[in-house]
A = this chain, B = another copy of it.
Amino acid sequence: MTEPTPAYKARLFEPLARQPASHRISTVIEQKILRRSLRPGDALPTETELAEQFAVNRSTVREALRRLESAGLVGREGGSKRLKVTRPGHAETASRVGRTLALDDVTFIELWEAMRAVAPRVAALSAEQGNAADVAQLEAIVAAVETARSADGAVNQVVEFFGKLAELSGNRVLQLAMQPVTRLLAPSLRRMIDRVPQGRTRILVAQRCIVEAIREHKPDEAESWMTRHVQDFRRGYELAGIALDTKVGIGSMAD
C-alpha cells in the first residue's frame, strides 16, 4: 500500500524527475527558509528581482510563490504588498490536518481513540504548569459552556476548553495534535448532546473536576478525571445510538 514499486520487477532506475522550474524554485526558497537563511519576518525580494536572480520569467516565479504561500511559508502581513517569510501558523496546519483526515473518512472511534490517548496527558501537564490566570481562563470557558444558549454555542465552548487546555500544557506538539481532533469531533459532540439530554451536565461536572485538579496542581487527578471524561463521551455517543464507525464529515471545516 505504501510501496509503489511493483514487487515483481526490480526497477533499475528511478524515473528521473525533471521538475518544472517553478517547482525547483519553490524548493530552493523553501530550503532557505527551513535552514533559517531566511527567517520569519524577512521580506522576500520582489518578483522581478527573483525572476532575474533565477533567470526565469516572472510568471514562473509567481507560481513558485503561490506554492510557498499555500504551504504557509510566506505570506503578507496586513494589506502589505511585499511577501514576507512567515512561520506556518498552527491554526492553518491544524486545519490542513483536519482536511486530510476528513477526506480520509476517518471514523468517530478513530478520533476518539486519539482523544483518549492525548487528552489525559494534556490535562496532567496542564496541572503541572497551570497558574492562577490560566485556571481563571478555563473557568471562564466552563462558565460559557454552562450558559451557552444554543447547543452549537456549547459545543464550540467545549472545543475551546480543550484548545485552552492544550495551550496550558505548554506542549506545542500535543496542542497541534489535539486541535484537529477536537474540531472534527465537534459535530459528533453536537449530535450527542442533542440526543442525550444529560450529556451536557455530565460534561460540566467533568470539566469542573478537571479544572479543580489543575488549580490544585494534582496531575494524577487531572489525568484520571480527563480519562473518565473521555470515556463518558464515548458512552454518551453509544447511548445516542450512533454507530462508532460513523464517518466524520467536512461539516466542521469552516476555513
Q: Which residues of A contact B (CB under 8 A)?
A: 2, 15, 22, 26, 33-36, 40, 59, 62-64, 66-72, 79, 87-88, 90, 93, 96-97, 99-104, 106, 110-111, 113-114, 116-118, 120-122, 125, 167, 171-174, 176-177, 181, 250, 253
Contact = CB atoms under 8 A, between A and B. Distances in A.
Name A's interface SS: helix
Report copies per complex.
2
* 8 tightest Cβ-Cβ pairs between the two chains A and B: A117-B121, A70-B70, A114-B173, A67-B70, A66-B66, A93-B100, A88-B100, A63-B66
A222 to B, nearest CB: 14
A176 B94 CA distance: 12
B173 A250 contact: no
Contacts of A111: 173
A139 to B, nearest CB: 18
A64 B70 CA distance: 10
